[in-house]
Structure 1
């Protein structure tokens, strides 16, 4: 079979979403990894704000009870396709498991905009734009912040969340790579909380008990970092073991303020929701969009916690 040039393939993909198969207006389905997290609720706030400026559109917002319930998220996407929504904004909980569902959306001429986490290469042709933190750079930023505070040698613990999630691969990968290139720090872990705060608390408590010489710890997402902070307080190690967290809810802000956690890398979660809606509306209305959009990250510590830069991303 004759091979198509990359330009021809691009033209075909553009044609698939400019045939008038979906008119402007209608339901936009926003499907996230879980609804039980301030991070995703902040995404919802951004999406709601963007919807106010998108006349003729309605929005549904849903996600599983837990990030680890990948099957439930797949079903949500398939249900959205079956009810012929105008567009989908999706934070995929697994880079491979969501690909068949996204393919169904593509075949039904329903545009898909990804936020937060990537799909594997097999799914790249089925979505129109991807909005996220550059998770590898964010992981590097966290590693640098930890090295700055604990030095070049010793033991640090890596408390992660859901293995194989797109954001986790980039974030933890960037963290480990930077640590290996710029220090001789020994990593204990990684441990996976499945994005459950109570699990992270128990895991961190055990790690602190088994490693009395631990110098630092990294909590790689919101519920994990909150669990780390609570474990440090409960074990009397707050301020004695350096902690770097990820995301910026009120619990984490309080931990930074009282010195339990020394720094948090905060993503533009509100922007993911806001720009996610704007982007999918642009696709529906046949306007050009970028394939990749960086929504940024800010390292927040006690010194800049009350700055306007930090307040723009904290929630």
Structure 2
């Protein structure tokens, strides 16, 4: 009996040790969809700024070469788990493929905070908070901006990015649903660039050629919208077709300023990085956090391009 009691106590202590929350301090792994994008580099700036206010933490920032390199991102999460990081801030490139890796983090008692894109329902229990643009609402705002400028009838095209990505489902889905509910516009596409600017440029050029009666076009993320804008300029159709873009790097700001693109919906990417670090640190330090945080979106056009509201989100 005494031997049994000693074993039971030892097992209990081991269980308590293994299930206890992480001690404050240590490495925070920030893993995004790709490092080759100004959008994600702006997330990094926000994360770095937030980390400077926290004591005892270091940060690693990484992502695949392209958003479509889903397996690489899965490996990055698994490697972070294997080196026992204190916490993970993750922008999942695929809502299903990342679930097993996030589950491994949960099993290792490593907190995970998602930014930008959601996991599928099967992964909801494995992360602690989700910080993102309300992508459905953002897509609706882009659709409204389109209808306001092209009217109720005619043909428009959707240039999208990675099919199945959580943000893409909400954003393009919200756009299409709003168009269908509030107009009689005919939709061509969506066409998927895989978040490659050159691909978006070629797809837009082909779409413009195949649809000479096109009245409007929507570019649903940064590299796609930049490729769309360049195609419009190269074909001489900039300003002749209503173009609505997404995200707010220098190229897109220039397109708005010269009239190639009429409006861009800009996310709080800096805030995602900043609040992502703040949130994961709070979890590590046993503080309560909200399950969801809306980081907002601002529709920027030529009229408000230089306003303080726009400058707070442009990058």
So what's the TM-score if we normalise by structure 1?
0.94
* Aligned ranges 1:21-170 → 2 under 5 Å: 21-170=21-170
Aligned length: 301
d(CA) in 1 for partners of 2:50 and 2:214?
A: 45
Q: Is the 8 A contact 2:21 2:284 kept in 1?
A: no
Residue matched to 1:266: 266
1:51–1:192 Cα change, 3 Å: same
d(CA) in 1 for partners of 2:186 and 2:84?
A: 51
State the Cα RMSD in Å: 1.3
d(CA) in 2 for partners of 1:266 and 1:182?
A: 23
SS in 2 for 1:88: strand
Q: Is the 8 A contact 1:155 1:214 kept in 2?
A: yes
* Aligned ranges 1:234-273 → 2 under 5 Å: 234-273=234-273
Q: Is the 8 A contact 2:219 2:245 kept in 1?
A: yes
Q: Is the 8 A contact 1:17 1:286 kept in 2?
A: no
Give the superposition deviation at 1:22.
Answer: 1.5
Give the superposition deviation at 1:18.
Answer: 10
So what's the TM-score if we normalise by structure 2?
0.94
Give the superposition deviation at 1:20.
Answer: 3.2
Q: Is the 8 A contact 2:113 2:279 kept in 1?
A: yes
Q: What are the ranges of 5 or more consecutive residues in structure 2 without an aligned counterpart?
A: 1-14
1:234–1:17 Cα change, 3 Å: farther
d(CA) in 2 for partners of 1:300 and 1:263?
A: 6
d(CA) in 2 for partners of 1:247 and 1:141?
A: 13
Residue matched to 1:5: none
Q: Is the 8 A contact 1:17 1:111 kept in 2?
A: no
Give a deviation string over 1:107-142, Cα, whole Å, max 9, x none.
Answer: 000000000000000000000000000000000000
* Aligned ranges 1:158-237 → 2 under 5 Å: 158-237=158-237
Give a deviation string over 1:255-301, Cα, whole Å, max 9, x none.
Answer: 00000000000000000000000000000000000000000000000
Give a deviation string over 1:141-187, Cα, whole Å, max 9, x none.
Answer: 00000000000000000000000000000000000000000000000
Residue matched to 1:290: 290
Give the superposition deviation at 1:80.
Answer: 0.1
SS in 2 for 1:35: coil
Q: Is the 8 A contact 1:137 1:171 kept in 2?
A: yes
d(CA) in 1 for partners of 2:257 and 2:231?
A: 17
1:223–1:16 Cα change, 3 Å: farther
Give a deviation string over 1:15-36, Cα, whole Å, max 9, x none.
Answer: 9999534110000000000000
Runs of 4+ residues over 2 Å off in structure 1: 15-21
Q: Is the 8 A contact 1:16 1:109 kept in 2?
A: no
